[in-house]
Chains A and B, each alone.
Chain A
Amino acid sequence: MIQIAEVSKSYNRKLVLDAVSMEVNKGHIFGLLGPNGAGKTTLIRILNQILYPDGGQIYFEGKLLEPVHLRQIGYLPEERGLYKTMTVRAHLLFLAQLRGLSKTEATKNVDHWLQHFDIQGWQLKRISMLSKGMAQKVQFIAALVHQPKLLILDEPLSGFDPLNVELIMNEIKALKEQGTTIILSTHNMKSVDEVCDYAALLHNGKVLAQDAVQQLRRAHSKGLIEVRFKGNMLSFANALWTDFTLLSQKELEEGFFECTLQSRGGRKLNDLMRSLQEHVQVEHLSQIQPSMQEVFIDLISQKAAQNV
């Protein structure tokens, strides 16, 4: 859906984006990750045509990105902002019409989303009277009121309580089910684990890694395995031999243990199963994938070590 080809951007001779290329497939949730100052917001602003790149191109559905495409893009910026003296309804109608909807369409969509988020009772309240969470819900609605094909969310979960985080996450998943392509820029790695199909990691304006989330996690796997078994701990330890290192153990109940192992020499799960099956009754065996947070830290640390 979106192809970013060799996009560069500088501010006062400081290179903020350095020949960044990435591809966002239609109907997927794409995580845009990176530490502060990596260039995520600049890239997002370029996608929204708030800024223009110094070099490179961006394609939207195969065509060069143009202002007319803005009507198909929804944007929730990291820095929230609403007109404090407008009512909720008036504000949403205003932003919907700004995105190209007619008044009738805007009214219909606003009514739908207010009902969907169960805030019809607040529609005639001024924005200044809303709590922070409520105001952010309004902004979230404003980003998708015109039913965009592409939704760009910059830190959509910040400022929400856990209940509303859950609500927004479910909403993101529902939008994906309906075919909306979503670019999610966030520091909340749990949400990346939970919803993102693909992810790209930016650092100092360059793409450090870009792949499917599962691939990224697998690529940074440290060979950790979780085992739950019934039996004798000593027999278990003996069965491991030198192929696996026992990192931790916990007795869940009498004779029932949970252990974490580190694979050595490239040993796989099948190898472990073969080693254990005659000695203990294996109840659960799985590879522990690193979280995206661990992948993120790992990649940044590697990069920092390279620079040194």
Chain B
Amino acid sequence: MLVLGPVVVLLLLIGLLKAADQGKQELNVLIADPGQIMSHRLMAQEEQQIHYFFIDDYLELSEFEKGKAYQEFDVLLELNEKVLNNKKCFVFFRDQLGLDARMQLKFQVERRMEELIAAQHSNLTEQAFRQIKQGFIFDFRDLQDPKNESKEANAWAGFILGAFVLFFVALYSMTIFRATVREKSNRIVEVLLASVKPSQLMLSKILGIGFIAVLQLLGWILLLGFGFWLLQETIFLDIFDPSNWGQDAPERLNPLSALVFEQLPFASLIVHFLLFFVASFLFYGALFAVLGARSSAEADGQQFLFPLLFLVSFGLFSGIYAIYFPSSTLTEILGFLPFSSPVLVLIALAKGLGIAAYTNVLLSLIILLVCAFSLLGLGAGWYRKSILKF
């Protein structure tokens, strides 16, 4: 699990990053235009991902597929001589085209067709027509964030990290629950309680499992960090090589790569990830230990697990709310609640925080720790009363 987990995460990341790249693939399109309808011209493109070439004759598919002269072309677009009337054409591709590429190809060819139809039926010049067809730019912006500094992608990255905190907390807290139930059901607990206090027994279980959890997380962080570095140096090297940028910055070449490798403050996120994980684990660990002490068998405790797991899920829902309503009062309150603060703090850190706002992070952590220690104290009493009841 220590190695398998990071490997799975890295493979998922590669998949996502590759998917983000798919729409940006460069294509060489050969347009077979026997009627010379397009006059070897298309609209000017902002993005030079699709390169168009023209031949003035039909081309056999087998020739296109196997002919040496045509191997450099990825797509064959066949325009019949009556395309302006029947508005039908065929597009043959070597490799599956991404949705983005299909949309661009369709848009550009359609626009040229419109120009030609407009020229047939009106006195509009090409330039006039293009001006008419030029779309309006609607820039949607949050009133709370008129300069569009919300960094939503960063927020979602922070949310994922926060979700990981809650996931690991739930996972290891379940281990505490099962270990407590097992000790109780096989009656070893009576021998143990003759040597140590119930509170010591409960705390040792929480701290022992917590220590293993932190070790595993550190292992994950190291392996993932190494994996990220390796990806950046190998598979995604081209994106970060300035000689490949042209007019584009890395975020325009592959925004997801740029987010992962350039924009997220990983050092800060990792430190706070660990701090909030430990504090949340202590908080939930006490609850799960008490639940285990009250159950004679795992099946008995299952019915009471749902409310606890719901509390964990509450943190996730709070995170989603905070992304869409970052400046609301409720978001501010949720940032201090022990159930939701890990997710909200990591979202805020991923977006970048000023020093003034960091005091809220510290306050959230202090509140979470105070609640955790209080619950450990209360939990010890409940644990003591329940552990020997069968």
Interfacial residues, chain A to chain B (CB-CB below 8 A): 45, 48-51, 67, 70, 73, 75, 77, 79-84, 95, 98-99, 139, 142
Contact = CB atoms under 8 A, between A and B. Distances in A.
Given A67-B197, A70-B195, A50 B188 contact: no
B388 interface: yes
B194 A80 contact: no
A81 B187 contact: yes
B142 interface: no
Contacts of A79: 187, 190
A142 B188 CA distance: 12
4 A-B pairs with the lowest CB-CB distances in the bound complex, closest first: A81-B187, A81-B188, A79-B187, A48-B194
Contacts of A70: 194-195
Contacts of B192: 98
30 contacts: A45-B388, A48-B193, A48-B194, A49-B194, A50-B190, A50-B193, A50-B388, A51-B388, A67-B197, A73-B194, A75-B191, A75-B194, A77-B190, A77-B191, A77-B194, A80-B187, A81-B183, A81-B186, A81-B187, A81-B189, A81-B190, A81-B191, A82-B188, A83-B186, A83-B188, A84-B186, A98-B192, A99-B195, A139-B191, A142-B191
B196 interface: yes
Contacts of A73: 194
Most buried by A among B189, B190, B194, B196: B194
Contacts of B197: 67
B195 A77 contact: no
Nearest to A79: B187
A239 B22 CA distance: 119
Contacts of A82: 186, 188
Nearest to B192: A98
Q: Say whether chain A's binding surface is mostly helix, strand, loop, or mixed.
A: loop
Contacts of A80: 187
Interface string B162-186: 0000000000000000000001001
Given A49-B194, A81-B190, A142-B191, 13 more contacts: A50-B194, A50-B388, A67-B197, A75-B194, A77-B187, A77-B191, A79-B187, A79-B190, A81-B186, A81-B191, A95-B195, A98-B192, A98-B196
A99 B193 CA distance: 11
A17 to B, nearest CB: 15
Interface of B: 183, 186-197, 388
A95 B188 CA distance: 11
A98 B190 contact: no
Contacts of A139: 191
A79 B193 CA distance: 13
A98 B193 CA distance: 10
Nearest to A86: B188
B236 to A, nearest CB: 44
Nearest to B197: A67
Nearest to A139: B191
A77 B186 CA distance: 12
A50 B195 CA distance: 9
Given A50-B388, A67-B197, A95 B191 contact: yes
Contacts of A83: 186, 188
Nearest to B185: A81
B30 to A, nearest CB: 67
A99 B48 CA distance: 76
B228 to A, nearest CB: 37
Contacts of A51: 388
Contacts of B187: 77, 79-81
A69 to B, nearest CB: 11
Contacts of B189: 81
Nearest to B186: A81
Contacts of A98: 192, 195-196
A45 B190 CA distance: 9
Nearest to B187: A81
A149 to B, nearest CB: 15
A256 to B, nearest CB: 54
Contacts of B183: 81
A163 to B, nearest CB: 25
Nearest to B387: A50
A81 B192 CA distance: 10
B198 to A, nearest CB: 8
Most buried by A among B186, B189, B190, B197: B190
B194 to A, nearest CB: 4
A135 to B, nearest CB: 11
Contacts of A50: 190, 193-194, 388
B368 to A, nearest CB: 32
Nearest to B198: A50
Nearest to B189: A81
Most buried by A among B189, B192, B195: B195
A146 to B, nearest CB: 9
Contacts of B388: 45, 50-51
Nearest to A97: B195
Nearest to B389: A11
A99 B189 CA distance: 14
Contacts of B186: 81-84
A67 to B, nearest CB: 7
Contacts of B188: 81-83
Nearest to A146: B195
B377 to A, nearest CB: 18
A40 B195 CA distance: 20
A211 to B, nearest CB: 28
Contacts of A45: 190, 388
Contacts of A81: 183, 186-191
A73 B194 CA distance: 9
Contacts of A67: 197
A98 B201 CA distance: 11
A70 B196 CA distance: 9
A204 to B, nearest CB: 21
